[in-house]
Structure 1
Amino acid sequence: MTLDARSPAPVALPAGGSLVLRNARLPGSDDLVDVRIDDGAVTHLGYIDPAASAGRSGAAVEVVDLGERWLIPGLWDNHVHFTQWAQTARRLDVSGAASAAHAAAFVAARIAARATFTPSGDTLIGFGFRDAMWADAPSRAVLDAASASALGPIPVALVSGDLHSCWLNSAALARYGLPDHATGLLREADAFRVAQMLDTVSDGVVDGWVDDAARAAAARGVVGVVDMEMTWNLDAWQRRIAAGTTALRVEFGVYSQHLQHAADLGLRGGALIDGTEGLLSVGPFKVITDGSLNTRTAYCVDAYPGLTGPDAHGLLNVTPDELLPLLRQSAGLGLRAAVHAIGDQANRLALDALEQLAAEAPTPHFSGLGHSIEHAQLLSDDDVQRFARLGIVASVQPEHALDDREVADRFWAGRTQRAFPLASLLAAGVELAFGSDAPVAPLDPWVAIAAAVGRGRDGDDPWHPEQSVSRQDALAASARGRHRVSVGDVADLAVCEIDPLVASVADLRRMPVAATLLAGRFTHRTL
């Protein structure tokens, strides 16, 4: 079996290493098959004589009856911020706020309900506000009024649902080094810096939350994630796996500030990390070139309605002159590039840089690494074709289209036929890789699959249904290109109660998962 840089390595099964899954159905078929797994790989599909009870080493074969459920390739989330996702459930949920005043009311209610805050106490952290459609603007004064307490000033920091802005009151601004900030609404680099400073929970506590989140992901059929957390993640994941967090494969991203450290350690893209049971590997080089739609910082050809001045088209976090040298440096380490670009001009500039990289060093620095653009939310028709010509993967998050549809209709008016263009990318021959960007959207590939197929939720009419994709294509985009289990595959598998190729969009979103296997080892099981 040949493994490319993005394929997981087999992990040996314990105690004889053989497993037979009986009475499985494959998607799109009612025929029953038996599946044999040896040493972490699928070795047989078809009928297996019950009398054949010895494994390769002569040990007894474990037999599990799937009860005519559907067996599919295990699912990946190709873009997560795993530590932030694990923390989100412990933070104040302000995602339902319809205005700045409404968000402040959530804060006031939480403070009133908790008498443990002291003048030197912890920061109250919230998550999920989206202010693009608000009639009133976030301000430090609004949060100051909501957080006033007889116990003294309580620092409050709210992280936006798209992770590209933070809203702080005066006490938090003073705590995090920005006492003179005029509005308290931080964007891009300032927001990223503060968000990292909010992560003050001890390693032991966070690791427990991460383990819970990993098990929850496995219960949704997930076998692996690409962790795009902005901090250096190698040490954290080594510690977690050593402590027993073994439900997922993890590819950890490397940011610009860590490239030299990665080089000093001799890390190479796709390499497995010793001592992690084959679960941890070096992931992509992540670089954030522009902002986001909800924060109105996605870098676009056209100005945002109602905005004037130098930032009216959005913001570039990394200029073209800065991007290409970074891509050269990361390619020298064998790292595939994962370039964040949301606006159409940001995507154009990212493709320009990747095209120049290909022209300079097509082998080995470009071909075969599977470079991606992350998000790719607004594209020109010409740039869709460039994705295909350059072999760039579109690493996209279909649920974002449903989160952002109203904001896109307002701020990208007249251009939304080019927004989240999944069908156009597929028609051009571009490889899609689905993710969530958790905590921006839930870490649940079935949510992404349903969004890509249905382009709507909660009874809403589909948004630009011409850009919907088939169930088979959506499954493949969530399973590293596979939509069906084959002999020779690594036995990263999931067992579903409903055939995903015929399920309704509603059933896709709630898909019951009976079991998940990682190299033939159960990480979730209700059978």
Structure 2
Amino acid sequence: MEEADYGPHTLLRDVVVEPDGAACDVRMAGGRVVAITPAGERADGAEVVHGGGGTLLPGLVDAHVHMLQWAATRRRVSLAGAGSAAEAVDRLVASLDGPPAPVARDELVFGAHFSDGLWPDRPHKDLLERALPARPVVLFSNDLHACWLSPAALALIGRDHPSGVFTETECMEITAALPAAPAEVQDRWVLEAADAAAARGVTGVIDFEYADTVADWSRRLVARLPSLRVACAVARFVLDDAIERGRRTGDVVPGSGGLLTMGPCKLFVDGSLNTRTAYCHDPYPGLGSSGQLVLPPEELVAVMRRAARHGISPAVHAIGDLATTIALDAFAEVGHGGRIEHAQLVDPGDLRRFAELGVTVGVQPAHAPDDRDVAEQYWPGRTGRAYAYASMLAADARLEIGSDAPVSPLDPWNGIAAAVARTDDDRPPWHAEQAIPLDAALAAASGGRTRVRVGDQADLVVTGCHPRDIPIQDLPEIPITATLLAGRPTYVA
């Protein structure tokens, strides 16, 4: 594998390496772990990083992020927790003239993280117009499957709409049409977001941004090395170009020093729970709809087969149980493994098929505590098989934990904690029978790695204590002592 020149060898001093639990020094060279010895090793010219007696673990891998959207959302007004459309608008208005700086009247105002599944009223462009006359406003739902625009924002992109609320494909089209910061500014935001992730022990991500991720990340490499390895997902609109260039899933992007690889091709079967567009066997109570089928089975199979024929693995977004069945049927027909992203509601008869078909399940446990109330309302009597991670593991499915940032923060410790505890507040665990052991959650958040061995890629994290030695509810705040990417320190406390 191509590796960047990271300079001199690195010596990580005084860390506890499982399973022995003894204090060790770890020497790295050429991007690999070359020796694990008792503490007290001579540096011999190596760059020294002090572990402070912390626990050495494989670096964390967030298996589902949207890096540019996450980087932008970090700068947007959060509407999380708003209990109604009116409250969301009030919160937005209150934020505009507050610290750190007022927003100019002609500046596009962005908000994020609204969840309208349980709202007593509906989002509408007129609400925004009354509160912020003639102001261009764009608000994104927490699941990224809906956006809510003011009349001025609609005019800005030459559109009109009865409510100003767009979902699914239309939402993505609107997002792409909105004015954006210059590329160099966006790149700075993304690299800063990568640094923040490294400070939480993250060494790799799969970037599912709806963009030409290879071109975007290659441009960022010119500015500086990122703090993460990036698997660059292939959006459907660039699939033909990827095939023409001979790019295959797993290939190292030339000139990236091994930091960029080709990821899978992202395809959508359905929508999401909060927008009531996740495609289900049973209809949503009171709505007369079972959700939205975004890609019909025959079209899904055709695109998957074309991608697989050229060495590009499919990654299929499926949230509802019928969508998951359709996705698994497609994998069976194509005869090629890959990924299903989310699988939030699964028919019990489908559980064994993930392993049988060689399909990895990209899951987001941090969503379960957020979604439990709306799931109880719209998936009544079925929530025992929602976010069913214990059942998936029992059926030998391979789980990989992601955040789906910006839906949840890019910090795998939130997902690890939620997978084990099945709650993130003072409420009792939600379907505790679907909790998974801590070791399984750590492996799912580390690309399947369970411990650090000589010869391993030197993508590592040192935690201030072992995760099992603190209460599960404290895992999201676990102290990080150091993070190393191919032996290069990307964060040191």
TM score, norm. by length of structure 1: 0.90
1:135 aligned onto 2:120:
yes
Q: 1:332 aligns with which of 290, 301, 309?
A: 309
1:277-288 to 2 correspondence within 5 Å? 277-288=257-268
In 2: Cα distance, 1:427 partner to 1:231 partner: 36
Report SS of the residue matched to 1:66.
strand
Structure 1 counterpart of 2:185, one-letter code: V
Displacement, 1:43? 1.9
Displacement, 1:30? 3.2
Structure 1 counterpart of 2:31, one-letter code: G
2:21 aligned partner: 30
1:358-369 to 2 correspondence within 5 Å? 358=335, 366=336
Q: 2:52 aligns with which of 67, 77, 83?
A: 67
2:33 aligned partner: 42
The 4+ residue runs of structure 1 with deviation greater than 6 A are: none
Q: 2:166 aligns with which of 168, 186, 203?
A: 186
Structure 1 counterpart of 2:309, one-letter code: G
Report SS of the residue matched to 2:352.
helix
1:82 aligned onto 2:67:
yes
Q: Is the 8 A contact 1:214 1:245 kept in 2?
A: no
In 2: Cα distance, 1:338 partner to 1:290 partner: 13
2:295 aligned partner: 318
Report SS of the residue matched to 1:225.
strand
1:14 aligned onto 2:7:
yes
Deviates more, 1:133-142 or 1:193-202: 193-202
Q: 1:512 aligns with which of 460, 474, 479?
A: 479
In 1: Cα distance, 2:158 partner to 2:117 partner: 26
Report SS of the residue matched to 1:491.
coil
Task: Give the % identical residues.
Answer: 44
In 1: Cα distance, 2:357 partner to 2:346 partner: 15
Structure 2 counterpart of 1:208, one-letter code: R
Structure 2 counterpart of 1:510, one-letter code: E
Q: Is the 8 A contact 1:24 1:67 kept in 2?
A: yes
2:327 aligned partner: 350
Q: Is the 8 A contact 2:51 2:482 kept in 1?
A: no
- Alignment CA distance shift 1:145-1:245 (3 Å): farther
- Alignment CA distance shift 1:66-1:345 (3 Å): same
1:289-325 Cα shifts (integer Å, max 9, x gaps): 10000000000000001102xxx10001111011001
- Alignment CA distance shift 1:232-1:65 (3 Å): closer
TM score, norm. by length of structure 2: 0.96
In 1: Cα distance, 2:154 partner to 2:286 partner: 28
1:3 aligned partner: none
1:467 aligned onto 2:467:
no
Structure 2 counterpart of 1:321, one-letter code: E
Report SS of the residue matched to 2:452.
coil
Structure 2 counterpart of 1:271, one-letter code: D
In 2: Cα distance, 1:117 partner to 1:24 partner: 50
1:123 aligned onto 2:108:
yes
Report the count of equivalent residues.
Answer: 491
1:413 aligned partner: 380
- Alignment CA distance shift 1:294-1:383 (3 Å): same
Q: Is the 8 A contact 1:238 1:276 kept in 2?
A: yes
In 1: Cα distance, 2:445 partner to 2:2 partner: 18
1:484-504 Cα shifts (integer Å, max 9, x gaps): 101110000000001023332
Deviates more, 1:394-403 or 1:34-43: 34-43
1:198 aligned onto 2:178:
yes
1:266-305 to 2 correspondence within 5 Å? 266-305=246-285
Displacement, 1:27? 4.3
In 1: Cα distance, 2:414 partner to 2:458 partner: 23
Structure 1 counterpart of 2:68, one-letter code: T
1:232 aligned partner: 212
In 2: Cα distance, 1:504 partner to 1:289 partner: 38
1:454 aligned partner: 421
Q: 1:99 aligns with which of 78, 84, 97?
A: 84
1:176 aligned onto 2:153:
no
1:386 aligned partner: 353
Structure 2 counterpart of 1:156, one-letter code: V
1:363 aligned partner: none
Q: 1:403 aligns with which of 341, 345, 370?
A: 370
1:126-165 to 2 correspondence within 5 Å? 126-148=111-133, 153-165=134-146
Which runs of 5 or more structure 1 residues have no equivalent in the other structure? 1-7, 55-59, 359-365
Structure 2 counterpart of 1:482, one-letter code: R
Report SS of the residue matched to 1:297.
coil
In 2: Cα distance, 1:188 partner to 1:399 partner: 22
Q: Is the 8 A contact 2:23 2:39 kept in 1?
A: no
- Alignment CA distance shift 1:244-1:67 (3 Å): same
1:371 aligned partner: 338
Structure 2 counterpart of 1:80, one-letter code: V
1:150-204 Cα shifts (integer Å, max 9, x gaps): xxx112111100000011122222333331x222221111111112223511111
Q: 1:256 aligns with which of 201, 226, 236?
A: 236
Report SS of the residue matched to 1:212.
helix
Displacement, 1:110? 4.1
Displacement, 1:11? 4.3
RMSD of Structure 2 on Structure 1 (CA): 1.7
In 2: Cα distance, 1:108 partner to 1:47 partner: 59
1:342-391 Cα shifts (integer Å, max 9, x gaps): 00000000000000011xxxxxxx2xxx5110000000111111112112
Q: Is the 8 A contact 1:393 1:432 kept in 2?
A: yes
1:425-469 Cα shifts (integer Å, max 9, x gaps): 111111100000000000001111011111111222111111111
Report SS of the residue matched to 2:172.
helix
1:108 aligned onto 2:93:
yes
Structure 1 counterpart of 2:177, one-letter code: M
Displacement, 1:14? 0.9
